[in-house]
Structure 1
Amino acid sequence: MSRKPADEAEGVIEDNEYVNAPVRPEDKAPPDRRLLFSSPSLPLLAVCWILLLLIMGLRIYFSSVISEQNVKLIKENQELMKENQELMKENQELSTGKNSELKNVIQELKTENQELKENFTKQITDLEDNWEKFNVSRAQWTIDSYCPADTSKVRRCSACQRGWDQTQKSCYVFHNSEAPPHPKTWEEARENCRGRGADLVVVHDEEEKNVIDGYIRDLYVSKGYWMGLRVEGGTWKWIDGTNLTDASWIEPPAEGHCAVSLPTRTWTSVKCDEKRTRICSQKALSV
């Protein structure tokens, strides 16, 4: 079918407009690049580039930090090596120059140790000799105390020492002098009794109490005699570990107090650091 003149004219005009139209970058680019500019993956590509740049920047930063740390470590290592060399040098000096000094000190210590051994051995020997002499003297003292010799040098033995009084199975001595230095604290009085092979008197029953009271009435002292009774843990206790059986014999216990037997046949409680005379007792011998 043939075209009309009007249609042909419009076609010519459209061709001219297309030819004379400005050229866009998309039109100049090859077909594939035009496709790129118009592709929806452009933002993703930009993000990838940014991440790549960030990674490269971090790598450069950490490489710089690591390099700085390496330089610092190398310097510290050099200093340690220097110190190690100095220590090795000092050790060498000690093992050579001062070794002789150590040997001299060791030899001196050995000599002193030998002298100490010899002195210690001598002291032991002296103690053994003294102990033997002491035993002989003590045995002689015991014989003289329990079996005194009369004018004819005949010995008569008794159950108690000379100057001690016997009652049943016990021996007593009453230190009835109140002139210094005879009065003592409770502890001092007990030590004095022990030095004589005895101890402060212990009274367990009414009968023994009456015996002691009878002696005290005859051997009068104004402040009374120490006995082996004191307060321990809020309780009256005898020195043999037993408790006072009759609480009516003395006042209620007070810490730091000890018992005194008075010439009025009564007992009283006083502070243990006061000074009194004493009653010592010991078991009578079987003769």
Structure 2
Amino acid sequence: MMEEEVNYSTMVFKTGASLTKEKIEDSTIYSEVKSKAPAGPPPAPEKNEDPTIYSEIKTKAPPAATSAAPEAEGKAAACSHFPLLLACSEILCVLLLAGIIAIIYMSLLFKVQSANLSNLTAEYQRLAVEKEISDNKTQELRRERDNLNQTLEVILKFDNFPVNDYCPNKQCQPCRSGWIPFKNKCYLFYNENAPWKTWGASREYCKGKAADLVVVDDLKEQEFLSSHITYYHDDYHGYFIGLQKTANNWVWIDGHNDTLSYWMKDMSDSSVSYVLIIPGKNATKSWVKADNVFENKFICETDALLLST
């Protein structure tokens, strides 16, 4: 077997005092440096040899003192951070307490606001109901006012108001007996036997009733009139209405020009100046021209005593 190669080095420590040769020799420390030495316990020194301190230097072996230093430094750092951690804990506790107080306050405030909102909602609903009732009463009062004004206007047309005709049994109605109501108007369809009347005589009869010959305002009224007239005598006889020719224009007796033109046929005779509605014809094509000597039935119109609701 090959013997292990051992290198010895002598290290001398100077203490500043003079040492004797024996003490220097005794204080010699041998350090065994092994290269490529196999693992295993170092060889025991022989008995005859002087007690020598062997120090085996091994690669990557940290000294014992170095492991204790970081631990001490960590403890010192921990001790120095403790007051800071304590202060942070106190701040967090204060913030948490403030947050809890804020949540409780906001909860109470929300409950109060919810109660106020409920009260306001109930008050708004009450006011809305009262406003609706007030509006209905206002509309009713306006209708009553308009009815009174209408009634007064109709009454003033008469020199002697026919109370029994408008208010039989003391119950007033929109139209007199024998008159037909339509859209706040009253209509009298003259259906007496012959002799009938000319256009002028027809108008005088209507005025004697605090009325006048009918003025047609729209198709609805024209259809209403057509539905209440009946055929009599022959195809040329009809009912006079309040339309006449003035300065080559067809003008209603209330002064406005005609724009409806519900003519049955065109008549070029310029001498005729009045208009008849012929029964049994299409409502939009039922007017014919007539002169003042031609006697016919007629239609009177006046305002209703009471407005329809």
Query: What TM-score does the superposition give when structure 1 sets the normalisation length?
Result: 0.46
